[in-house]
Amino acid sequence: MNRCLVGSLAFVLSAGWLPSSALAQGESAFCRTLEGTQIGDMKMCASRDGAPKGLQVQIAFGDTGAGRTFAEDAATEKGRKSLCAMVPEVFKQDLGLPSTGIHWLPKTNRLICNFGDTNQPGFEQVVAQSPPPEPQKKSEQAMPDLTGPAKKLLARDLAAQTSKWDGQRIETTMSCFYADRNDYRCIGGGTRIDVSRVANAEGRQWVEDRCDTLSKSTSRACNFRIVFVYGRYTTHRVSDRSEITLVLPVGEVAELYPVSSGRR
């Protein structure tokens, strides 16, 4: 997926995004817009020669599969940093510019990455906003007790924006994916569960060996019974018409039991 973003950035450069015709009279930054890429619409603004150096990249994620995936990542602090970190890979000729601000605007499904001095005319100025709530670090939370009876729910039940399951052991079934080190994602029924640690060795080995790509995660082998203690939820809009409920287990810990193994 990252190739889509880097490729789109490269296209803006190759298209010659510095023409004077794109510069409004009196502005100290010039901009170029690229519409209809695989991930959505993009706009780049840079300060002119002689002005303090600054660069701003704005990405409005579309409703395509790639756009929705990138928007999901942008809704987390870790994902935003990763996406903005890809920009200097393309702008090698001018950057040693440090990152000076990342803004996620959920209502417009838009990410803004600032580098260098963007506090000048021609750049979009974004009032500092509180980022979406992030799960607490595991060290700040007591490890959950996953033993004993669990309330069995469908994935679509968990999409309900409710706190009535706070602190309860929950069991549900979803498709899970080993995204990165200490990053396991389970999705289904309009719900996503993010887990940093799979507590049972069998589930951890199974998901890491057999479900380490998005294409594999759609197979029956990557359907898991998930047991966790419900912590809280946040919601993230993925398009004008839909949103996803992100469920946050206590301690970011869960047990995974592959459905196809028939064991628990």
Residue 7's CB is within 10 A of a number of other CB atoms, namely 13
- Of residues 50 and 38, the one with the higher pLDDT is 38
Residue 244's CB is within 10 A of a number of other CB atoms, namely 21
Name the percent of the chain lying above pLDDT 90. Answer: 33
3-state secondary structure of 188: strand
Predicted confidence at residue 198, as pLDDT, reads 95
Model-wide pTM > 0.85 = no
The span from the CA of 130 to the CA of 136, in Å, is: 16
Please give the mean pLDDT across all residues of the chain: 80
- Of residues 135 and 56, the one with the higher pLDDT is 56
> Which helix or strand (DSSP H or E) is residue 89 part of?
helix 87-90
**E-assigned strands of the chain?**
29-34, 40-47, 54-61, 99-105, 110-116, 151-152, 169-180, 183-188, 191-195, 197-198, 223-237, 243-249, 253-258
- Of residues 160 and 67, the one with the higher pLDDT is 160
- Of residues 211 and 24, the one with the higher pLDDT is 211
Q: What is the pLDDT of residues 138-156, one digit of tens each?
A: 444 567 889 889 999 999 9
Predicted confidence at residue 51, as pLDDT, reads 64
Q: What is the pLDDT of residues 90-114, one digit of tens each?
A: 554 455 678 888 999 888 889 999 8
Beta bridge partners, 253, equal 197
